[in-house]
Chain A
Amino acid sequence: MRKALKAAFPATIPVMLGYISVGLAFGLLMVKTGHNFLWAIFMSITVYAGSMQFIAINLLTNGVGLIEIALMTLFVNVRHVFYGLSFIDKFKDMGKKKTYMIFSLTDETYSLICSLKAPVGVDNNLFLFSIALLNQMYWIIGSIIGAIAGSLITFNTQGIDFAMTALFVVIFIEQWFTYKTHIPVLIGIVATLLSLMIFGSDNMILPSMIFITAILLVFEKKIDKKEYEKREEAMNNEF
C-alpha cells in the first residue's frame, strides 16, 4: 500500500491544489453561513461532491425540504451515472475496495483513473485505490482548514457566498469550450428564467428541473444527433 501511495502521489498533485483550495472555500462558506464546522467536515466525508456541496450550503441555509433536496442532488449529480460506465470492468476485481472506488468517483478522480496505469512493480488496484483515497483526503483537509479558519478569523464576510456563483461561472466556461452544441445552455437559461418568473425565487428549483428535462427530451433529435449516434456505436463496440 505504501508503494502504491508513493506512486500515486505525483499524479494527484494537480487535484491536490484544486481540491484543497475549493475545499477550503467550501469549509469557509459553510461556517460563515452559520453552520457548525463539524457539518462541513461531515459533508466532505459522506457526500464528497464539489458542486453539490456548495449548492447544499444554500439549500441547508434556506431550510429546503428533503424531497426537493433529493431531486436537486439527483439533477446536479446525474452526470456521475456516466463515469461508472467506463469502470464496470476495471473495478470488477477490486473486492472490498470496489465500494469505495464507486463512492469516490468525482469528476477529477474519474479523469485521473481514466488515463493512468500503475508503474511496473505496483499493484494496479492498489494504485487506483490510492489515487481515489488521496484525492478525498485533499478535499477533507481543505474543508477542515476552511472550516477552522472560518471559525477563528472574524472579518466582514458579506458577499463571500459569491464564491459559489464564481465556481459555477468557471464550470460554465469550461463546458462552453468542451461542447459542440450550446442548445442545452440555452434550454437551461430559458427554462430557469421562465420558472423564476412564474414561480418566484423561493419555488423555482423544482419547476426549472422539470422544464429543463422536458425541453431537453423534446429537442432530443435536434441536439447533436450525429455525435450521439457515434458515441453509442463506440460504446457498444467497447463492451
Chain B
Amino acid sequence: MNFSNNYTFFAIVVIAIVTFGTRVAPFIFFRKGKATPKYIVYIGKYLPPAVISMLIIYCLKNVNLFKFPFGIPELIGVATVAILHIWKRNNLISILSGTVIYMITIQFILVTN
C-alpha cells in the first residue's frame, strides 16, 4: 500500500500539536489560585471510560454479525483478553495472547478466503 507522504506528515503533525495542546493547556489557562472550571473537571474525569468504550466499538466496526464467521473470531479474541486480564492483570500477557489467538483463529480455523 502507498500513502501520500505529505498527508502522513501533516496528519502526524496535527496529532502532535493537539496532543501537546492537551498537555500544555493547564499551564496556560489554569494559573495558581484560580479554580478550574467545573465542566472541565467533570469532562476530564468521566470522558475517558466513555472514550475507551467508543474506541473498542470503533475497532470492531467492520465486524459483520450476519455473515460468516459472524464475529466469532472477535468474540474469542476479546474474551481471551478479558478473562486473562481479569485473572492475571498483566497487560503484556493479555494483549499478546489475545492477538495470537485471534490471528490463529482467522488464519487457520475460521478462514474466510
Chain A positions within 8 Å of B, measured between CB atoms, are: 17-18, 21-22, 25, 33-36, 39, 42-43, 46-49, 51-52, 55-56, 58-61, 63-64, 66, 69-70, 73-85, 88-89, 91, 102-103, 105, 156-160, 162-173, 175-176, 179, 181-185, 187-189, 191-193, 196, 201, 204-205, 208-209, 212-213, 216-217, 220, 223-224, 228, 231-232, 235-236, 239
Q: How far is the CA of A82 from the CA of B40 in the complex (A)?
A: 9
B91, A185: Cβ atoms under 8 Å? Answer: no
Taking a contact as CB atoms closer than 8 A, the residue among A77, A184, A196, A217 that contacts B57 in the complex is A196
Top 5 nearest A-B pairs (CB, nearest first) are: A188-B53, A34-B1, A188-B50, A84-B26, A73-B18
**CB-nearest residue of chain B to A212:** B50
A180 to chain B, nearest CB (A): 11
Tell me how many residue pairs across A and B have CB atoms closer than 8 Å.
267
A196, B61: Cβ atoms under 8 Å? Answer: yes
Give me 23 A-to-B residue pairs in the complex whose CB atoms sit less than 8 angstroms apart, sorted by A's number.
Answer: A34-B2, A47-B19, A52-B15, A56-B15, A63-B3, A69-B11, A74-B21, A78-B44, A79-B47, A80-B23, A84-B24, A102-B27, A105-B23, A159-B73, A162-B99, A167-B95, A170-B85, A170-B95, A184-B49, A185-B52, A217-B43, A220-B42, A228-B42
B95, A75: Cβ atoms under 8 Å? Answer: no
Taking a contact as CB atoms closer than 8 A, the residue among B22, B27, B86 that contacts A74 in the complex is B22
Taking a contact as CB atoms closer than 8 A, the residue among A81, A175, A192 that contacts B44 in the complex is A81
B38 to chain A, nearest CB (A): 7
Q: Chain A contact residues: over half helix, strand or loop, or mixed? A: helix
A166, B24: Cβ atoms under 8 Å? Answer: no
Inter-chain contacts of B7 with A (CB < 8 A)? 60, 63
Q: How far is the CA of A239 from the CA of B36 in the complex (A)?
A: 10
Verify if B45 is at the interface (C-beta below 8 Å from A).
Answer: yes
A186 to chain B, nearest CB (A): 8
A33, B1: Cβ atoms under 8 Å? Answer: yes
Inter-chain contacts of B36 with A (CB < 8 A)? 85, 232, 235
B14, A42: Cβ atoms under 8 Å? Answer: no
Q: B residues 33-68 with Cβ under 8 Å of A?
A: 33-36, 38-62
A168, B59: Cβ atoms under 8 Å? Answer: yes
Inter-chain contacts of B31 with A (CB < 8 A)? 88
Q: How far is the CA of A79 from the CA of B19 in the complex (A)?
A: 10
A172, B95: Cβ atoms under 8 Å? Answer: no
B57, A193: Cβ atoms under 8 Å? Answer: yes
Inter-chain contacts of B1 with A (CB < 8 A)? 33-34, 61
B32, A79: Cβ atoms under 8 Å? Answer: no
Taking a contact as CB atoms closer than 8 A, the residue among A70, A167, A176, A184 that contacts B50 in the complex is A184
Q: How far is the CA of A49 from the CA of B5 in the complex (A)?
A: 21
B61, A204: Cβ atoms under 8 Å? Answer: yes
Residues A188 and B49 in contact in the complex (CB < 8 Å), given A70-B18, A232-B41: yes
Inter-chain contacts of B95 with A (CB < 8 A)? 22, 25, 163, 166-167, 170
Q: How far is the CA of A239 from the CA of B56 in the complex (A)?
A: 37
A34, B107: Cβ atoms under 8 Å? Answer: no
B53, A162: Cβ atoms under 8 Å? Answer: no
Inter-chain contacts of B47 with A (CB < 8 A)? 75, 78-79, 184, 212-213, 216
A2 to chain B, nearest CB (A): 27
A188, B78: Cβ atoms under 8 Å? Answer: no
Residues A69 and B15 in contact in the complex (CB < 8 Å), given A105-B23, A175-B49: yes
